[in-house]
C-alpha cells in the first residue's frame, strides 16, 4: 500500500524542507524506516501545524485556524510503500521503532472526473459565456488580468487551447510545476483533460495567467495514463503556497481548480483509522488545503461524477461520494448543470464527508467547447463545471484580491447570489444553486458603495 509518512525531524531539517531555496531529500528526513520502501524520488514536503483559537479543537476544520510553518511547529511528509502482508504490524510498530514518526496516512489514487453516458452537448461555450455575463464582468474590469489561475490536472496544451479560443492566452512557466518524475514543458503537454479544464477556466477570465501543474501524470505501478497519487497534490499545494506568499500581501490572487478526486476506498484506510483520507480532517492534504485557503487562495474542487442517476463506473463509495478535500469546508465544491440550467445526472450529490453541505453550488457543463476529446464530444462532467466556476472567481479577483474580500467571504457571496433551485435555500442536488455572475456583480457594486 502506498502511504504518506509524517515525521517530526530536528528543527534544522524542518527549516531546510520548508525553505524553497534549499534542497532536502527523503534520505535527509528519514534514512531508514523499518518495513517501509521509501520513495527517494519524492521531494519531502513541510506540513504546517494547525493552531486553533484558545480552547479550540486542532482536528476540526470548521473553525478559524492559523497555520505555522515555523521549524519548531511544522512536520515533514515523505512517501513510500508498505507490503500489504505487513501493513497492520508496521502501522503499529513504526511510531515505536522510529521516534520521529508522527503518523502514517493513505496516499490514495486520484483520477480525473470525465463523465459517463453518451449524450451530445447542450449548447456551446458561447452560451456559457452569455450565461456567465462575461461581457458584464469585463465592463467591471473583471477579466482575470494579473490573477494566477492554477490548473492541477493532466497538463495544458496552449497551442490547442489558443486555437479553440481564437485568442492568445498567458501561461507562466516559471510558477508552474511538475511532479517528480514527470517530464514535459508547461503548456506543451498532449491535448487531454487538462487542456479542457484550461479552456473552460478562460471563458470567464480570458486574461488570467495560467499555471500548469500536471499532478495526474505521475505514474503508479499498474496505473493508467490518467491517474496520480495524492502525495503529488500535497507537493503541488506546497509549491503553490510559495507562489502565493511571493505575491504582495495587498494584492494576493491565486485561484486553484481541481477536477479530480478519490473514487474508491480501496486505496484508503478505513473510516475511523487515523491514516484515513476520505473522512479525516487531520490528513496532511486536508491540512495543507486549509493552510493555503487561510493564506488567501481560492480553492475549487469538482464534486465528482457519482450522481445517483448516472454513476461513473469507478464510483465505489456506496453513499456520500463527495470525499476528502472535495468536501473540505474551506473549498468550493462544484456540481454540474447543463446550459438549460438542469442538473446533469452524473453530478455527485451530498452530504459531503468532511462537511455536510456539499456541493456548494453548481456551474455549467456538457457543452461544446475545448474539443479536447474531439469536435463532437462535449466538455463534460463536474470536471468542466469546476474550471468554469474557477474562471468566475478569477475574474472577481481582478478587482477584489483576498485583502479586500477573503476567500471565505467570496464563497459566502457565491452561495448567497446563486440561483436557488429549491424551496429551502440549500439541497444536496444543487447546493445553494447555480452560479450567477450577474448577481455577484450587483452584490460587489453594493459592497464597494458601502466602503467608499
Strand partners of residue 255:
149, 298
> d(Cα 80, Cα 82) in Å, to the nearest integer?
7
DSSP 1: -
Q: Which residues contact 421 (CB under 8 A, 6 or more apart)?
A: 341, 343, 362, 427, 429, 430, 433, 434
| H or E element at residue 213 | strand 209-213
- Residue owning grid cell 505575491: 247
Measured in whole angstroms, how far is the alpha carbon of residue 336 from the centre of its chain? 16
Residue of 212, 244, 205 lying closest to 399 (CA atoms)? 205
End-to-end CA distance of the chain: 56
Strand partners of residue 47:
75
Residue 109 half-sphere exposure toward CB, CA atoms < 13 A: 21
Number of Cβ within 10 Å of residue 171's Cβ equals 21
DSSP 325: G
> d(Cα 375, Cα 443) in Å, to the nearest integer?
37
Query: Of the residues 338, 383, 429, 436, which is catalytic?
Result: 383
Query: Of the residues 133, 153, 227, 298, which is catalytic?
Result: 153
> Does 183 qualify as catalytic in the annotation?
yes
Query: Of the residues 84, 183, 375, 423, which is catalytic?
Result: 183
Q: Would you say 205 and 147 are in contact if contact means Cβ atoms under 8 Å apart? A: yes
Is the previous residue joined to 359 through a cis bond, with omega within 30 degrees of 0? yes
> Does 239 qualify as catalytic in the annotation?
no
> d(Cα 204, Cα 134) in Å, to the nearest integer?
6
> d(Cα 233, Cα 240) in Å, to the nearest integer?
10
> Does 40 qualify as catalytic in the annotation?
no
Q: How far is CA 90 from CA 96, 276, 346, 394, in A?
A: 10, 16, 39, 45
DSSP 434: B
Q: Which residues contact 29 (CB under 8 A, 6 or more apart)?
A: 7, 9, 13, 17, 44, 76, 78
What residues act catalytically? 153, 183, 383
Amino acid at each position: 500500500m502506498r502511504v504518506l509518512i509524517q515525521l517530526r525531524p530536528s528543527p534544522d531539517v524542518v527549516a531546510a524542507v520548508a525553505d524553497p531555496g534549499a534542497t532536502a531529500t527523503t534520505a535527509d528526513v528519514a534514512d531508514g524506516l523499518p518495513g517501509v520502501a521509501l520513495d527517494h524520488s519524492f521531494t519531502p514536503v513541510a506540513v504546517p501545524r494547525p493552531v486553533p483559537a484558545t480552547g479550540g479543537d486542532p482536528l476540526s476544520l470548521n473553525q478559524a485556524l492559523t497555520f505555522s510553518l515555523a521549524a519548531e511547529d511544522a512536520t515533514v511528509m515523505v512517501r513510500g510503500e508498505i507490503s500489504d502482508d505487513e501493513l497492520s504490524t508496521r502501522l503499529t510498530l513504526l511510531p515505536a521503532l522510529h521516534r520521529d514518526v508522527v503518523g502514517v496516512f493513505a496516499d490514495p489514487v486520484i483520477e480525473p472526473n470525465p463523465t459517463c453516458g453518451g449524450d451530445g452537448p447542450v449548447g456551446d461555450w458561447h452560451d456559457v459565456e452569455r450565461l456567465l455575463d462575461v461581457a458584464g464582468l469585463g465592463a467591471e474590469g473583471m477579466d482575470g488580468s494579473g490573477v494566477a489561475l492554477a490548473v492541477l490536472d493532466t497538463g495544458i496544451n496552449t497551442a490547442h487551447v489558443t486555437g479553440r479560443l481564437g485568442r492568445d492566452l498567458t501561461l507562466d512557466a516559471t510558477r508552474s510545476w511538475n511532479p517528480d518524475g514527470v517530464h514535459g514543458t508547461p503548456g506543451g503537454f498532449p491535448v487531454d483533460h487538462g487542456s479542457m479544464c484550461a479552456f473552460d477556466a478562460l471563458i470567464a477570465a480570458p486574461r488570467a495567467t495560467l499555471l500548469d501543474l500536471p499532478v495526474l501524470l505521475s505514474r503508479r505501478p499498474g496505473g493508467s495514463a490518467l491517474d496520480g497519487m495524492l502525495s503529488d497534490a500535497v507537493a503541488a499545494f506546497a509549491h503553490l503556497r510559495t507562489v502565493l506568499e511571493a505575491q504582495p500581501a495587498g494584492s494576493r490572487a491565486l485561484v486553484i481548480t481541481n477536477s479530480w478526486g478519490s473514487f474508491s476506498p480501496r486505496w484508503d484506510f478505513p473510516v475511523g483509522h487515523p491514516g484515513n483520507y476520505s473522512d479525516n480532517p487531520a490528513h496532511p492534504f486536508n491540512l495543507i488545503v486549509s493552510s493555503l485557503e487561510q493564506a488567501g487562495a481560492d480553492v475549487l474542487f469538482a464534486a465528482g461524477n457519482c450522481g445517483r442517476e448516472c454513476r461513473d463506473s469507478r464510483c465505489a463509495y456506496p453513499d456520500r461520494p463527495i470525499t476528502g478535500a472535495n468536501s473540505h469546508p474551506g473549498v468550493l465544491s462544484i456540481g454540474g448543470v447543463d446550459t438549460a440550467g438542469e442538473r446533469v445526472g452524473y453530478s455527485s450529490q451530498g452530504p459531503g464527508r468532511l462537511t455536510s453541505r456539499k456541493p456548494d453550488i453548481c456551474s455549467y457543463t456538457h457543452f461544446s467547447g475545448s474539443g479536447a476529446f474531439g469536435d463532437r464530444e462535449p466538455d463534460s462532467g463536474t470536471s468542466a463545471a469546476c474550471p468554469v466556476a474557477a474562471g468566475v472567481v478569477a475574474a472577481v479577483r481582478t478587482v477584489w484580491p483576498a485583502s479586500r474580500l477573503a476567500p471565505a467571504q467570496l464563497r459566502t457571496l457565491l452561495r448567497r447570489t446563486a440561483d436557488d433551485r429549491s424551496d429551502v435555500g440549500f439541497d444536496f442536488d444543487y447546493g445553494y444553486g447555480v452560479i450567477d455572475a450577474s448577481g455577484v456583480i450587483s452584490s460587489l457594486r453594493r459592497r464597494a458603495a458601502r466602503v467608499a
